[in-house]
Amino acid sequence: MTLLSVENLGFAYGRDRPVLDDISFTVPQGANVGLVGESGSGKSTLLRLLLGLESPQKGRILFDGAPLQARDRRYMHAYRRRVQAVFQDPYSSLNPAHRVQRIVTEPLRSLKIPGDHRQMAEEAITSVGLDPDTLTRYPHQFSGGQRQRIAIARAIVARPELLLADEAVSALDLSTRVRIVDLFGEIAQKMTMVFVSHDMGVVAALCDRIVVLDRGRIVEAGETAAILRAPQHAYTRSLLSSIPRMPAGQPQDPS
């Protein structure tokens, strides 16, 4: 079953050259799809369209077989119950004035989800490897990796069907990044995920399928194993050649 389908998508800001041109791909239920490309490839704009923050000028996005209606408030309320996101910067994505419990339970309140919000927050925070007493503290009391775990807990607390991750490990140091990638790998066993990144190594570690974007167009797409084994496009080969090696003996941190 296809959960998300992007069909002939096109988008431009004003009269500028299109940021996205004829983008088509599908995300099957339970799959993990990576959107990979360097800065300027259009992947962040594509994510905004998938979140309903912008509307496509050409083509369409289908979620669970029905068109995404970004301008319909009632539709988007239901859509955000089923689709959540994790963003790049764990320092700016959490309100420093709020305790972690308020941050994590924010989707439950805004989406009017019934139940014991404290218990649901505890379940979410422990599922990302943090102690329940985390909920009583403030974001500034945690490391970057811990803050990103809090952001992930907020994204999964409402048990969405689809998780969208936008460069969700790029702001972290290398050793912390490895552990957060492992956490996303665990989450990917439980829900469908679209992982947006410039880092082919991260995408290859997490995703069943890869969609390679270059200057607003898809240049290659397919099963991860096939692309790693025999990339067809020069741009894909250049992304693969830039995958960093994990140094041995990385120091541990509290992330």
Query: For residue range 108-151, what is the model confidence (pLDDT) as tens digits?
Result: 999 999 999 999 999 999 999 999 999 999 999 999 999 999 99
pLDDT, position 15: 78
CA 216 to chain centre: 19
pLDDT, position 90: 77
The Cα-based distances of 196 to 12, 30, 44, 169 in angstroms read 19, 17, 8, 10
Q: Give the mean pLDDT of the chain.
A: 92
Class of the CATH domain delimited by 2-43+53-241: alpha beta
pLDDT, position 232: 93
**Mean pLDDT across 196-206:** 92
pLDDT digits (tens, 9 = 90+) for 52-95: 999 999 999 999 999 999 999 999 999 999 999 999 887 888 99
Angle in degrees, CA 103, 107, 110, rounded to 5: 110
Q: Is the Cβ–Cβ distance between 109 and 102 less than 8 Å?
A: no
pLDDT digits (tens, 9 = 90+) for 207-233: 999 999 999 999 999 999 999 999 999
pLDDT, position 207: 95
pLDDT digits (tens, 9 = 90+) for 184-194: 999 999 999 99
Q: How confident is the model at residue 170 (pLDDT cuts 50, 70, 90)?
A: confident
Residue 246 has pLDDT above 60, yes or no: no
> How is the chain classified by DSSP, letter by letter?
-EEEEEEEEEE-STTSPPSEEEEEEEEETT-EEEEE--TTSSHHHHHHHHTTSS--SEEEEEETTEE--TT-HHHHHHHHHHEEEE-S-TTTSS-TTS-HHHHHHHHHHHTT--S-HHHHHHHHHHHTT--GGGGGS-GGGS-HHHHHHHHHHHHHTT--SEEEEESTTTTS-HHHHHHHHHHHHHHTTTSEEEEEES-HHHHHHH-SEEEEEETTEEEEEEEHHHHHHS--SHHHHHHHHTPPP--TTPPP---
CA distance 133 to 126: 10
pLDDT, position 126: 97
Radius of gyration of the chain (CA): 18
Task: Return the C-alpha torsion angle 47, 104, 191, 202, nearest 10.
Answer: 60
CA distance 234 to 219: 9
Whether the pTM exceeds 0.85: the reply is: yes
Q: Letter for the amino acid at 174?
A: L
Q: How confident is the model at residue 251 (pLDDT cuts 50, 70, 90)?
A: very low
Residue 2 has pLDDT above 50, yes or no: yes
Residue 173 has pLDDT above 50, yes or no: yes
